């Protein structure tokens, strides 16, 4: 089991502050879903909901059952009260790496990795689909904007001039991982915080491509890790409810923070859900440049796992 400890690193950016974890009391049966953005977070929340409630019909929006604890569009009092009132087994969302979360005996920590080249394409669509004004309005009402006045002075971040330019901005982003919402650097760091403890009995690390290729087997593995028994007769309808097509068809009920109007189109939150589209954008030179960059940020083992391929020769890691 992971050794119990308080959070050891503080992660904060425009819409999230991991300091909330220091004020929140975890229950021994809780499930913490700690993923890099656009790696299958909502998918994992949905699988947990299906396993816990054992029905494909959720009465409430998914983020009512599974709020993003440290997102700053709702006050901590509101989120804590919501979770404190829950009598079912709780499953809590965060994009904070494992170092920023309290480790408590009995709690299960779940993370998901994905090929970063697919992540960045999904992130570009995610940002294009976001209503930035609605996001700021929700943040202002929840916690204010005084702490980000300087950051917001320049207005919303400009859209990249091309898809490829947007990818390089994300890949080359030098922002420290404790202050970056999403970048290649922050993604590989997040997975690294899980990597050495991935075989711990209260840690479960999944890969997006495995969920795509064999949802049934991987959903059953998740159930086993969570020690949840599901009658065999229920598996077909639960698995069907966890497919990308099914979730996209119910997007208004499943997307996070839909009550704040953060999305231009809730259906676009579930965009393609595919892997490998980066091959349409990257030529040979771009692939080598990317390989050099990620190889300097992460161990060959983590890079190979993220890409689902054999380890590559990597230059020395950045300090």
Q: How many C-beta atoms surround the C-beta of residue 87 within 10 A?
A: 5
Catalytic residue of the set 95, 189, 207, 307: 95
Interatomic CA distance for residues 241 and 244, integer angstroms: 8
Active site residue 260: no
Active-site residue list = 95
């Amino acid at each position: 089991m992971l050794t119990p400890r308080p959070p050891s690193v503080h992660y904060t950016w425009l819409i999230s502050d991991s300091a909330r974890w220091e004020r929140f009391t975890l229950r021994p049966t809780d499930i913490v879903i700690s993923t890099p953005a656009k790696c299958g977070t909502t998918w994992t929340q949905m699988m947990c909901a299906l396993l816990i409630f054992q029905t494909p019909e959720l009465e409430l929006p998914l983020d009512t059952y599974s709020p993003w604890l440290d997102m700053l569009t709702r006050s901590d009092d509101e989120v804590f009260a919501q979770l404190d009132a829950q009598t079912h087994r709780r499953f809590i969302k965060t994009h904070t790496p494992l170092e920023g979360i309290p480790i408590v005996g009995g709690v299960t920590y779940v993370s998901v990795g994905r090929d970063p080249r697919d992540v960045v394409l999904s992130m570009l669509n995610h940002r294009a689909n976001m209503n930035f004004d609605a996001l700021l309005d929700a943040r202002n009402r929840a916690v204010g904007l005084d702490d980000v006045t300087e950051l917001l002075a320049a207005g919303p971040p400009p859209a990249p001039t091309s898809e490829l330019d947007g990818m390089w901005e994300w890949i080359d982003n030098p922002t420290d991982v404790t202050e970056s919402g999403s970048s290649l650097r922050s993604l590989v760091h997040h997975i690294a915080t899980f990597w050495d403890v991935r075989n711990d009995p209260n840690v479960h690390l999944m890969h997006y491509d495995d969920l795509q290729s064999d949802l049934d087997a991987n959903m059953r593995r998740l159930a086993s890790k969570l020690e949840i028994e599901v009658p065999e007769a229920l598996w077909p309808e639960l698995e069907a409810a966890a497919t990308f097509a099914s979730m996209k068809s119910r997007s208004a009920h499943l997307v996070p923070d839909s009550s704040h109007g953060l999305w231009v189109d809730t259906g676009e939150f579930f965009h393609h859900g595919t892997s490998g589209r980066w091959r349409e954008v990257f030529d040979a030179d771009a692939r080598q440049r990317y390989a050099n960059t990620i190889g300097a940020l992460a161990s060959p083992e983590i890079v190979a796992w993220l890409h689902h391929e054999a380890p590559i020769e990597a230059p020395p890691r950045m300090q």
